[in-house]
Chains A and B, each alone.
Chain A
Amino acid sequence: MANEVCFRTMHLDEPWTLEAYKSVGGYKVWRDILKNKTPANDIIEQLKTSALRGRGGAGFPTGLKWSFMPRGMPGQKYVVCNSDEGEPGTFKDRDILRFNPHQLIEGMAIGGYVMTATVGYNYMRGEFYEPFARMEQALKEAYDEGLLGKNILDSGIDFDLYNHMGAGAYICGEETALIESLEGKKGQPRFKPPFPANYGVFGRPTNVNNTESYASVPVILQHGGQWFLDLGIPNNGGTKIFSVSGHIKQPGNYEVAMGMPFKDLLQQCGGMRGDKPLKAVIPGGSSSPVLPASVMMDITMDYDAIGKAGSMVGSGAVMVIEEGTCMVELAARTAHFYYEESCGQCTPCREGTGWMSRVLHRILDGEGKIEDLDNLQDIADNIMGRTICALGDAAAMPMGGFLKHYKHEFEHMIRTGRRWVDDQQNAA
């Protein structure tokens, strides 16, 4: 059971074309809605039943989010797709955009209808040249087919969709920074509340969802919320795309049932790349705390199980790490990333991310002190929950994971100036 939802065209030649999409039942749901004026509440109920949770990282229930939009309010409203995909380890939205762009268009059009938003923007990160070209082509096909625009297929319903592009900034994946960026400004997150549902793009009610979230909607509505829920496990409905990378034999995107045991996923990816055994996994992008192999081999891939183990599904970016990998180096690279990408608005994040990065690099340079470890945890704790947006948390959480499970590697390096993994190998 794979590739049933967002990747349902993947087995076809040129899966990105309108023809390919129609051959798997694409735009049927949209045409039905236009014809029958399906009540918006029915659609929201299906989404609630499906237990679809936001695939961008936070996992907020999509049906509930859609219900928050003030549908009855007059004036312009917007649906926005977050295709900024910048969380290290994540590469699924790029493949949805490249290989099944029409399904995203259909999902966004349905969203527009449900939330009475007649305009949509698909915000893609600036480096997505190929995905952008595919999306532009798909939009043109959809317009030519009469599926978008004004008074679509004589339904009286309008929906216009535009592709927008960023220019390099991880922070623009945060939804309010994305909105600022879409308005042509620096990507600095806004205070919430007000939430985008009340005050979003150009000050108008706006719904922001991830690419995979929108693209799941047409299939959910085609087969019913219960069908989708049953693909996964209770409270963790459906399939999820896991972007598997690192020391793995067949890296790539795997759209599989939620609740799949990690060891089965590992097997599906061909197992480990070399002859070294699994050491650890970063299960949900660089913001999620690392988990040791012993924990991973016993858990299933879903929000509840990974959450209970002390990490998160996040964006579904599974980074596989083999024995012999130095955790101090991974921690330092992670810290450097958040330091580079902090927008600088909030002091704890701006100062804390730089501080953590400097301390870790000092340790790598053989100049660490044992107090540094408590200090690192302290800095992380002082960022956590004290910033406008969750980039601060995203920088703090992985640090806790590295220190919790691999403190001995840090201590070893501070004491001896050498990598723990090297000394282990030499001793063996």
Chain B
Amino acid sequence: MSSEDPKRLTTMISAKAIEEIEHWRSKYPADRKRPPIIAALKVVQAENENWLSEEHMKAVADYLDVPHIAVFEVATFYTMFHLKPVGKNVISVCTNLSCMMCGSDKIVEHLQSRLGIKLGETTSDGQFSLKEVECMAACGGAPMLEASEIYHENLTPEKVDSILNDLGWEA
């Protein structure tokens, strides 16, 4: 167990975020401490420019009164958690079968050349990361990507340009 202050998290994130974590906590039996871990990590990640530092993870564990390892295990298992700094905008582009058959390679190519980075990289100004993801359950609109919690389907290079514009990419 940790000797850290369980309230530390409340000084690291907003009151609204704490409220959100409490809302998730209320969905599960009161004697169960782990079920809100995933939701809490998401809330914290959203407030910390899309990534989780070790300090954040420990603070979540202490706040929920679970061992640090319980939170580390979850944070490392699920692909939506970023344990290193990433771009303010993470663009998740699907390259699985249906998207592949509908030309996701061209979309990836276009994204890479517009942003000047490869899959898995972040622009030098820290604004954009490009992430290859598995099927997002939107294959009817292949090829697709997700950015800022919005699915963009039936992509063309022109559509990608307008998405990047809307997200503030100017280069």
Which residues of chain A come closer than 8 Å to B95, judged between CB atoms?
A: 333
Q: Are B139 and A89 in contact (CB under 8 A)?
A: yes
In the complex, 14 of the A-B residue pairs with CB atoms within 8 angstroms, ordered by the A residue number, are A88-B97, A88-B134, A89-B139, A91-B137, A127-B92, A167-B38, A167-B81, A185-B34, A202-B32, A243-B140, A245-B142, A253-B140, A282-B97, A317-B139
Residue of B nearest to A186 (CB): B77
The one of B73, B78, B149 in contact with A166, judged by C-beta atoms closer than 8 angstroms, is B78
A residues 72-117 near B (Cβ < 8 Å) are 76, 85-91, 93-94
Known A186-B74, A319-B97; judge A91-B34 contact (CB<8 A): no
B74 partner, pick from A182, A184, A340, beta carbons under 8 A: A184
A366 at the interface (CB under 8 A from B): no
Cβ of B134: which chain A residues have Cβ within 8 Å of it?
86, 88, 170, 337, 340-341
CB under 8 Å from chain B, chain A span 155-172: 162, 164-170
Assess whether B171 is interfacial by the CB under 8 Å rule: no
How far does the alpha carbon of A202 sit from the alpha carbon of B34 in the complex, in Å? 11
Q: Flag B8-28 by CB within 8 Å of A: 1 or 0 each.
A: 000000000000000000010
Contact of B138 with A by CB under 8 A: yes
Q: Smallest CB-CB separation from B37: which chain A residue? A: A184
**In the complex, per-residue mask of A317-347: 1 if CB is within 8 Å of any chain B CB, else 0:** 1010100010001100110010011000000
Number of A residues near B (Cβ < 8 Å) is 54
Per-position binary interface string of chain A over residues 124-154, scored 1 when its CB falls under 8 Å from any chain B CB and 0 otherwise: 0111111000000000000000000000000
**CB–CB B38/A184 < 8 A:** yes
Task: Note all chain A residues with C-beta closer than 8 A to B141.
Answer: 251
- Asked if A55 lies at the interface with its beta carbon under 8 angstroms from chain B, I say no
Cross-chain contact A88 with B96 (CB below 8 angstroms): yes
Chain A residues with Cβ below 8 Å from B73 are 185-186
CB-nearest residue of chain B relative to A253? B140
Interchain CA distance A184-B37 in the complex, whole Å: 6
Pick from B34, B70, B81, B140: contact of A244, CB below 8 A: B140
Q: Is A247 an interface residue (CB 8 A)?
A: yes
**From B95, which residue of chain A is reached at the shortest CB distance?**
A333
Contact of B97 among A130, A164, A330, A340 (CB under 8 A): A330
Q: State in angstroms the CA–CA spacing of A247 and B157 once bound together.
A: 19
Q: Which of B34, B77, B100, B135 contacts A183 (CB 8 A)?
A: B34
Chain A 250-280 interface mask (CB, 8 Å, partner B; 1/0): 0111000000000000000000000000000
B39 touches A165 (CB 8 A): yes
Taken together as a complex, chains A and B put the C-alpha atoms of A126 and B29 apart, in Å, by 21
Determine how close the nearest CB of chain B comes to the CB of A121; give it in whole angstroms. Answer: 8
The smallest C-beta distance from A425 to any residue of chain B, in angstroms, reads 17
Q: Tell me whether A210 is interfacial, beta carbon within 8 Å.
A: no
Pair A169/B79 contact, Cβ less than 8 Å: yes
Q: A129-B149, A333-B96 are in contact. Are A181 and B139 (CB under 8 A)?
A: no
Residue on A nearest B97 in the bound complex, by CB: A88
Using CB atoms and an 8 Å cutoff, list the residues of chain B in contact with chain A: 27, 29, 32-39, 41-42, 66, 70, 73-74, 77-81, 92, 95-98, 100-102, 133-142, 146, 149-151
Is residue A354 within 8 Å, beta carbon to beta carbon, of the partner chain? Answer: no
Q: Confirm or deny: A15 has a beta carbon within 8 angstroms of a beta carbon on chain B.
A: no
Q: How far is the CB of B156 from chain A (nearest CB, A)?
A: 15
**Is B136 in contact with A127, judged by CB distance below 8 angstroms?**
yes
In the complex formed, the residue of B with least CB distance to A321 is: B101
Check: A286 CB closer than 8 A to any chain B CB: yes
Query: Inside 8 A of B133's CB, which chain A residues have their CB?
Result: 168
Alpha-carbon gap, A129 to B149, bound state (A): 6
In the docked arrangement, what's the CA distance between A162 and B34, Å?
A: 16
Residue of B nearest to A343 (CB): B77
Q: Would you give the shortest CB distance from A138 to chain B, in whole angstroms? A: 16
Contact of A86 among B41, B77, B80, B135 (CB under 8 A): B135
Q: Are B42 and A89 within 8 A (Cβ)?
A: no
Expressed in whole angstroms, the Cα–Cα distance for A85 and B137 within the complex equals 6
Tell me whether B137 and A90 are in contact (CB under 8 A): yes
Chain B residues near A76 (CB-CB < 8 A): 29
> In the complex, what distance in Å separates the CA atom of A334 from the CA atom of B98?
11
Residue in A127, A182, A321 whose beta carbon sits within 8 Å of that of B146 in the complex:
A127
A417 → B minimal CB distance (Å)? 20
Query: Is A334 touching B97 in the complex (CB atoms < 8 A)?
Result: yes
A91 touches B138 (CB 8 A): yes
**B138: which A residues are within 8 A, CB to CB?**
91, 94
Given A94-B137, A185-B74, A337-B134 in contact, is the A251-B38 Cβ separation under 8 Å?
no
A208 CB to nearest chain B CB (Å) = 16
